[in-house]
Chains A and B, each alone.
Chain A
Amino acid sequence: MIDYLWVLIVLPVLGAATLIVFGKRIGEPWSGWLASALVGTAFLIAAGLTVPLVTGDGHPETVELFSWIAVLGLDVSLLWDPLAALMTLIVTGVGFLIHVYAVGYMHGDERFGRFFGYMNLFIASMLTLVLASNFVVMFVGWELVGLSSYLLISFWFVRPAAAAAGKKAFIVNRIGDWGFLVALLLIFAAFGTFEFAAVFAEAPTGLTTGMATAITLLLFLGAVGKSAQIPLYVWLPDAMEGPTPVSALIHAATMVTAGIYMIARTAVLFELAPATLTVVATVGAATALFAATLAMGQRDIKRVLAYSTISQLGYMVMAAGVTAFTAGMFHLMTHAFFKALLFLGAGAVIHAVAGEQDMWRMGGLRKVMPITFWTMVVAWLAIAGVVPLSGFWSKDEILAAAFAHGTYFVFLWAIGVVAALLTAFYMTRLMILTFGGEERWPDGVEASGAPPILTVPLVILAVLSATAGIFNTPFRLSLEHFLEPSFEGVTQQQPPEGAIVVALAAVALVVALIGIFWGWARYARKLPVEEGGFWEAAVDGYRIDDRYGRLVVAPGRAMATWAAEILDGRIIDGFVNGVGAGVKSFGDSLSGTQSGWVRWYGAVMAAGALGLLLWLLLSGGLF
């Protein structure tokens, strides 16, 4: 049964191929149902394959498919272990719900079929990344996921902003991909193989700290690009140009979490480089806080959620940095639920107010779309970290692990707590501006409730957001126990024992409630004016894009122009043309010998004959 693991990938690949080629002919809504069915089937197969892992009968297995580059000992093979199973279930499960939602959301779009082709392509790529058993197959999935993201962000490419956003996402990701690739080369140089099992087995004894630090820093660079950490986060807010299901699936639940998954997968290597871990934790905490401040000032509902995603990813990265890998994966799972829910709800809201995305022109929607409202309330409380919803458990575990890790990391814990406060605040702001108060949308717009095809996935996700906490609470099921086989040889940071952990949980809860109260106090009655100074800078992303443009893009462009005009135009062309001109002039100079005068030919022939005679005599030993 496990030998058919590749079916998980092949199903969406077939869907992608069929829909990209025949999507127009299949048309609405069957393309969408086909795509959703394929993803749903993949989910069921994955669930079936996970049961042995849960009951303890199964064990991690590698499925070899075929040999790819024999010289490097590189095979295409897949790995099925608890970590991969967890990611697969998240990707296919949440992916299935989002596919169904998208059938309703993308209704009327003229490239409906192709959209679902690209969505299936994304699922296939993500599964390749997650199921890989060696670094190269993972990199193939990594790159394909980037490609799918580009295709889907710029899906409405007729809008110049969408096309530019797709390009920006791809290029910024490239920087991270470079890091990943150099790390790949170093890994091969150090170990001679790409397979996870072999590398992780040999690493503790065979790797110097310096090499481990180099490899892990480069891998982390890849994660920084893919998971939108400082300084490579700038593509994610712009990626909101894509359709909302895309934002939900790729830029909230799955693709951006690939970096976290990768760090968790290569935990063995990271544990050998404590310096890198400190860098990782610091970057994560800083991103969490930085993005939270930016989220406070956004007017566009999707941009708030984008910065919120960056901030929550910062939490997951911080978890990895303090070696609390299980806590990071747990937060990844809960975040997938409530962030997807938030995005899908935002999509329903945008749908209802006929495309308006500025929250200042919404308001009062709770009366019009009650189901959407109540599901989003669940998500809001989950992300703020209110007990007993899932977000409370996962976020709290990360903060507790940070607190327990060491003196420097207590400082990071404090940053995480402040970020949690801001998270609660800006999410409250979002909810009140969108659903509370009076209607502020322009006249003539008929706001209506969302149809069932949109609301059913919302409800399912709400249930999951509320209850997923039981997966890793100290009381019932334990995610940590489930993931144990994947983290063999890795010592993970445990939360502190006893009273400390309860106190930390209380602090987190209190901070969340303060944030909510602050938001309610500020926005519930009269709306404040948010203009000038901080607000303008926040909307502009603190003008980081501008600075990148001046620092990086402009020199790059100047170099490209120099290369095209001077290097290519003058030097290379000059050399090539010079060769041609040289040959021609040499030929011209030789044509003087063809004078047309018979006596000249005779003279040359006689001279040649004399020379030949001399040579024969001399070589015959005349002198």
Chain B
Amino acid sequence: MIEVVVFLIFAGVAIAGALVMVMGRNPVHSAVGLLTTMFSIAVFYVLQNAHFVAAVQVVIYAGAVMTLFLFVIMMIGVDKTEDTTEQIPWQRPIAIVVSVGLAAVILIAGSRAWITGRSIFVDGINETIEVVADALFGTWTLAFLSTVFLLTIAAVGTIAMAQYSPRRPEEES
């Protein structure tokens, strides 16, 4: 019973946060909305006994990624609030149709084949972190090690990007 209540409350919070993010005029407001949504999703992970994923979500996603976002928002794009007139014709209608349509299709299609049956509290998945470690370092080692490379390359790329400055004509003499 209590899970239902928790679920419903945090579902509302998540959706509210998402809507704030999409509709907020100030980018900082959008960032905070997203942050809220991420926290709710972390709650959902906990409800499903995915404690490790929840921790990672909070630490990395909400902690690092959103902080990075806020830095960049502060650096560029915070002073201007964009006006609401849409200059591309048909953009808004298409966007509404696509998103509503997508949700409708997924819900309808999914309702035919919802994964039901098991409750979220299943025996044997209590100590998730051991099982996760087993999978990551065992079966999925290759993928795990590839992420090492991925992060390295991302770091290198970012540094290179930071060094890049477009040459101005008056600098050439």
Q: Residues on A close to B: CB < 8 A?
A: 595, 597, 599-600, 603-604, 606-607, 610, 613-614, 617, 622
Q: Residues on B close to A: CB < 8 A?
A: 88, 90-91, 94-95, 97-98, 101-102, 105, 108-109, 112
> Which chain B residues border A597 with CB–CB below 8 Å?
88
Q: How far is the CA of A302 from the CA of B37 in the complex (A)?
A: 115
Whether A603 contacts B98 in the complex (CB less than 8 A), given A595-B88, A597-B88, A622-B112, comes out as yes
Whether A600 contacts B88 in the complex (CB less than 8 A), given A610-B105, A622-B109, comes out as yes
- Partner of B109 from the list A604, A607, A617 (CB cut-off 8 Å) is A617
Q: Are B102 and A610 in contact (CB under 8 A)?
A: yes
Q: Are B98 and A610 in contact (CB under 8 A)?
A: yes
**Nearest-Cβ distance from residue A396 to partner chain B, whole angstroms:** 101
Specify the chain B residue showing the minimal Cβ separation from A597: B88
**Nearest-Cβ distance from residue A595 to partner chain B, whole angstroms:** 7
Whether A599 contacts B101 in the complex (CB less than 8 A), given A617-B109, A622-B109, A622-B112, comes out as no
> Which chain B residues border A599 with CB–CB below 8 Å?
88, 91
Whether A603 contacts B105 in the complex (CB less than 8 A), given A595-B88, A597-B88, A622-B112, comes out as no
> Which chain B residues border A610 with CB–CB below 8 Å?
98, 101-102, 105
Q: How far is the CA of A600 from the CA of B98 in the complex (A)?
A: 13
Whether A607 contacts B94 in the complex (CB less than 8 A), given A597-B88, A600-B88, A622-B112, comes out as yes
Q: How far is the CA of A610 from the CA of B109 in the complex (A)?
A: 13
Q: How far is the CA of A607 from the CA of B97 in the complex (A)?
A: 8
Specify the chain A residue showing the minimal Cβ separation from B106: A613
Whether A603 contacts B94 in the complex (CB less than 8 A), given A595-B88, A597-B88, A610-B101, comes out as yes
> Which chain A residues border B108 with CB–CB below 8 Å?
622
Q: How far is the CA of A20 from the CA of B109 in the complex (A)?
A: 89
> Which chain A residues border B105 with CB–CB below 8 Å?
610, 613-614, 617
Q: How far is the CA of A614 from the CA of B103 in the complex (A)?
A: 12
Q: Summarize B's interface: helix, strand, loop or mixed.
A: helix
**Nearest-Cβ distance from residue A215 to partner chain B, whole angstroms:** 74
Q: How far is the CA of A64 from the CA of B117 in the complex (A)?
A: 97
**Nearest-Cβ distance from residue B91 to partner chain A, whole angstroms:** 6
Whether A607 contacts B88 in the complex (CB less than 8 A), given A613-B105, A614-B105, comes out as no
Specify the chain A residue showing the minimal Cβ separation from B92: A603
Q: How far is the CA of A603 from the CA of B95 in the complex (A)?
A: 6
> Which chain B residues border A600 with CB–CB below 8 Å?
88, 91
> Which chain A residues border B90 with CB–CB below 8 Å?
603
Whether A607 contacts B98 in the complex (CB less than 8 A), given A599-B88, A600-B91, A613-B105, comes out as yes
Whether A603 contacts B91 in the complex (CB less than 8 A), given A617-B109, A622-B109, A622-B112, comes out as yes
Q: List 7 A-B contacts (CB under 8 A).
A: A597-B88, A600-B88, A603-B95, A606-B94, A606-B95, A613-B102, A622-B112
Specify the chain B residue showing the minimal Cβ separation from A595: B88
Whether A606 contacts B98 in the complex (CB less than 8 A), given A613-B105, A614-B105, comes out as yes
Q: How far is the CA of A589 from the CA of B98 in the complex (A)?
A: 24
**Nearest-Cβ distance from residue A623 to partner chain B, whole angstroms:** 9
Specify the chain B residue showing the minimal Cβ separation from A604: B94
Specify the chain B residue showing the minimal Cβ separation from A608: B98
Q: How far is the CA of A607 from the CA of B105 in the complex (A)?
A: 13
Which 6 A-B residue pairs are closest in the complex by CB-CB distance?
Answer: A603-B94, A606-B98, A600-B88, A597-B88, A610-B98, A607-B98
**Nearest-Cβ distance from residue B61 to partner chain A, whole angstroms:** 23
Q: How far is the CA of A610 from the CA of B103 in the complex (A)?
A: 10
**Nearest-Cβ distance from residue B77 to partner chain A, whole angstroms:** 16
**Nearest-Cβ distance from residue A97 to partner chain B, whole angstroms:** 94
Indicate the member of B88, B90, B94, B97 with the most A CB atoms within 10 Å.
B94
Q: Given contacts A599-B91, A613-B105, could you give 7 more A-B pairs where the C-beta distance is less than 8 Å?
A: A603-B88, A603-B94, A607-B97, A607-B98, A610-B98, A610-B105, A617-B105
Specify the chain A residue showing the minimal Cβ separation from B98: A606
**Nearest-Cβ distance from residue B7 to partner chain A, whole angstroms:** 27
**Nearest-Cβ distance from residue B44 to partner chain A, whole angstroms:** 25
> Which chain A residues border B102 with CB–CB below 8 Å?
606, 610, 613
**Nearest-Cβ distance from residue B100 to partner chain A, whole angstroms:** 10
**Nearest-Cβ distance from residue B101 to partner chain A, whole angstroms:** 6
> Which chain A residues border B98 with CB–CB below 8 Å?
603, 606-607, 610
Q: How far is the CA of A607 from the CA of B91 in the complex (A)?
A: 11
Indicate the member of B98, B102, B108 with the most A CB atoms within 10 Å.
B98
**Nearest-Cβ distance from residue B168 to partner chain A, whole angstroms:** 24
Specify the chain B residue showing the minimal Cβ separation from A603: B94
**Nearest-Cβ distance from residue B154 to partner chain A, whole angstroms:** 22
> Which chain A residues border B97 with CB–CB below 8 Å?
607
> Which chain A residues border B109 with CB–CB below 8 Å?
617, 622
Specify the chain A residue showing the minimal Cβ separation from B95: A603
Q: How far is the CA of A465 from the CA of B95 in the complex (A)?
A: 107
> Which chain B residues border A607 with CB–CB below 8 Å?
94, 97-98
**Nearest-Cβ distance from residue B82 to partner chain A, whole angstroms:** 12
Q: How far is the CA of A607 from the CA of B95 in the complex (A)?
A: 8
Q: How far is the CA of A579 from the CA of B97 in the complex (A)?
A: 37
Specify the chain A residue showing the minimal Cβ separation from B86: A599
Q: How far is the CA of A551 from the CA of B101 in the complex (A)?
A: 77
> Which chain B residues border A604 with CB–CB below 8 Å?
94
Q: How far is the CA of A581 from the CA of B95 in the complex (A)?
A: 35
> Which chain B residues border A613 with CB–CB below 8 Å?
102, 105
**Nearest-Cβ distance from residue B112 to partner chain A, whole angstroms:** 7
Q: How far is the CA of A399 from the CA of B77 in the complex (A)?
A: 118
Q: How far is the CA of A617 from the CA of B101 in the complex (A)?
A: 13
> Which chain A residues border B91 with CB–CB below 8 Å?
599-600, 603
> Which chain B residues border A617 with CB–CB below 8 Å?
105, 109
Q: How far is the CA of A602 from the CA of B98 in the complex (A)?
A: 11
> Which chain A residues border B95 with CB–CB below 8 Å?
603, 606
Q: How far is the CA of A595 from the CA of B105 in the complex (A)?
A: 29
> Which chain A residues border B88 with CB–CB below 8 Å?
595, 597, 599-600, 603
Specify the chain B residue showing the minimal Cβ separation from A613: B105
